[in-house]
Chain A
Amino acid sequence: MSTPPRRRLVPAYLATHGRTAAAGTHGLDRLSVLHAAADLPAGLGGEHRQLWELVRPGALTLAEAAAHLRLPVSATVFIAADLAERGALSVRAPIPSAQPVNRDLAERLLSGLRALK
């Protein structure tokens, strides 16, 4: 038998319990900051547990979590949303005050970059 490239054992569509449509994804995107907030609710295992355990010691963005778990971003969004709905995950927007990028932020970013030199 031929050996196809090694891939994850559980396909992404199973990791999301078969869901493919967006339903209550909490505006999650790649830079949403995830951090475990409470105990893992009973009945959630597999990828849910892995994500929850990953962000238990500290916060990571959704993109980083997806990369570490080797899950597609789209699947990670669903899993994170599930956990957030159950209160097991705190989620915050990339910019804590939820303000749009303005000159003040861009200027501070610029001085941060200049300080790298």
Chain B
Amino acid sequence: MDFAPSSSTAALVGDVRSGAPAYLPPTDPVLMKLMVTGPFGVGKTTFVRTLSEIPTLHTEETMTAAGAPVDDISRTPGKTATTVAVDFGRLTLTGGEFVLYLFGTPGQRRFLPLWEDLARGALGALVLVDTRRLADAFDAMDLVEEAGLPYTVAVNRFPDTPPIALDAVRAALDLDPATPLVEVDAREREGCVDALIALTEHVLDRLPQETAP
């Protein structure tokens, strides 16, 4: 029997909550992934939304076992899995040569199993920090380091953030001198682009030199 190509595609597409899908450009782009992580409420979703050319999407990721002892499951006996929403967006570069995906992922230690899965194949990570609670950033930095990803730390400047010198942040976070530290306002595109540039430069620094011809 024939399958009639009909208007069902449009109906389906119109029905999904996330809006019409933005298809990839027909240029066979190279797809790359950067992680945007950090403590709860630090501005990861905002950062991704600021840069993404599509309305940000999210997937629900199931995390079993390792997260369970930490989460409060007392009111849901028998619950063995935690669901975490991961936000992501994308950015087309160089007329469709690249499509860069930004994955905003929770930076708490208990998300380690999910983190390893999400970060596979990622180029690097941007760790967002809030200077009012710098210590919360350590988990995220640990996760990134364990995943072996090069990273850059970005202080997200909130309207009520007291001024603090980047040197002091660097010292408080005990950052490796080679790890870039930048300042952003996650709502402002220009600074977010700068943060990605700093991260990509750092990724490049860490890639082995090709042998000279």
Interface residues in chain A, defined as those with a beta carbon under 8 Å from any beta carbon in chain B: 29-31, 33, 39-40, 42, 50, 53-54, 56-61, 63-64, 66-70, 72-74, 92, 94-96, 101-117
Query: Are A94 and B12 in contact (CB-based, < 8 A)?
Result: no
A64: contacting residue among B1, B30, B57, B60, CB under 8 A: B57
Query: Are A72 and B118 in contact (CB-based, < 8 A)?
Result: no
11 inter-chain pairs at a CB distance below 8 angstroms, sorted by A residue, are A31-B121, A56-B5, A58-B26, A95-B30, A96-B28, A104-B210, A109-B100, A112-B97, A113-B93, A113-B193, A115-B94
Query: Are B24 and A58 in contact (CB-based, < 8 A)?
Result: yes
Does B74 lie at the interface of the complex (its beta carbon under 8 Å from any beta carbon of A)?
Answer: no
Query: Are A115 and B93 in contact (CB-based, < 8 A)?
Result: yes
**Chain B binding surface SS class:** mixed
Query: Are A67 and B59 in contact (CB-based, < 8 A)?
Result: yes
B61: contacting residue among A60, A73, A105, CB under 8 A: A73
A105 to chain B, nearest CB (A): 7
B22 to chain A, nearest CB (A): 8
Once bound together, how far apart are the Cα atoms of A33 and B57, in whole Å? 16
Interface residues of B in 29-47 (CB under 8 A from A): 30-33
Query: Are B121 and A94 in contact (CB-based, < 8 A)?
Result: yes
Nearest 6 interchain pairs by C-beta: A58-B23, A112-B93, A67-B57, A94-B31, A112-B94, A59-B24
> Which of B128-136, B154-162, B195-203 contacts the other chain?
B195-203
B57: contacting residue among A31, A59, A68, A74, CB under 8 A: A68
A94: chain B residues within 8 A (beta carbon): 30-33, 121
Once bound together, how far apart are the Cα atoms of A33 and B31, in whole Å? 9
Query: Are A108 and B97 in contact (CB-based, < 8 A)?
Result: yes
Using A70-B17, A110-B204 as known contacts, say yes or no to A61 and B31 having CB atoms under 8 A apart.
yes
B207: chain A residues within 8 A (beta carbon): 101-103, 106
Using A30-B118, A74-B62 as known contacts, say yes or no to A60 and B197 having CB atoms under 8 A apart.
no
Interface residues of B in 178-213 (CB under 8 A from A): 190, 193-194, 196-197, 200-201, 203-204, 207-210
A33: chain B residues within 8 A (beta carbon): 24, 31
